Chains A and B, each alone.
Chain A
């Protein structure tokens, strides 16, 4: 109908309703993140009592704003984000089978119902690897024979995702606490040291024993090939040699209101990220990088993006925002300053978040402006405590 719908947007309604193709539409729906509506990417489970699942990047970006499960509003914490490898594996298989099944359905619809059932559906466009095995698919109308990926193909798809869990996420059974400054989560035994060190990256202080600490520092240098954190005096660090994303550890956030622009520039240049712009823009870029970097680690190692890919994505997103801002503010003559000015609000929010707050302090709605917001709260979550999407598997 209009231009911007012409782009292909895969959606659960690509599948017929249950009466025609039982379960497929719901399957495609439950495998989608409720934040972005895409098939889960690096799916993770949060620590609400429902175990709600989101794309890692979606929920981490949301948690830069609010430590709350978007679906049930329970308080959640980044430290308890867990990979969901089984969902990731299911998606690996579903991404293979989705176009295949859609094609089958299309062919079923276009072929006359009188087609002899013993004759298999033609599948020229399906890669031969997918059509090795024949299987009977029980169908409500007839028993057409269709070709589906056999177990070996499934296994192949599944093997692509290594289910090995990174040790950093499971090794510590000690109670975790969140740094009130940088919000990085860590075990209790190192928090004081971390604070004394002005929120230095954890890897350098992960272990309280001096001997192990040395090993850890070496590990850091091996990964990043540079002792930049030791040479704090230098104005600018060189880009570090590209680290192996398969072995990377999650990065800590920074307390943006307590560090200087120079410090943020240093950190950015270590990852070969642009360092132009003033503090608000730098802080926004750094936070986004950290979020993308950490989300990427929630994908199985074989599915992870390279740093180069992450950088490209970051640039694209900054460009998109620039475009949008330009449209809003001035049609011409947009320079870095405009971008920074626009980032100031976001920056103020970042600073606000970084401030230590007692956990019980939740924004309470004041009565002065608007007397009775509780009515809205009831409406928003009227039927149950969960916010549900309105679509469901309705009839067409």
Chain B
């Protein structure tokens, strides 16, 4: 009861807060989800992608 009341009072009571919560939530979830999936994907494909071999050629170009 207490939790749902707090929840209601903080997020649902005022429409402005409610809408901004959704927007901010979607934004942060988007970034977080993308970061999580990308880090898994990069681990899974370790050593195969361009970012894994790039350093060999960038240094060579600078020398």
Does chain A bind chain B?
no
Q: Which residues of A contact B (CB under 8 A)?
A: none
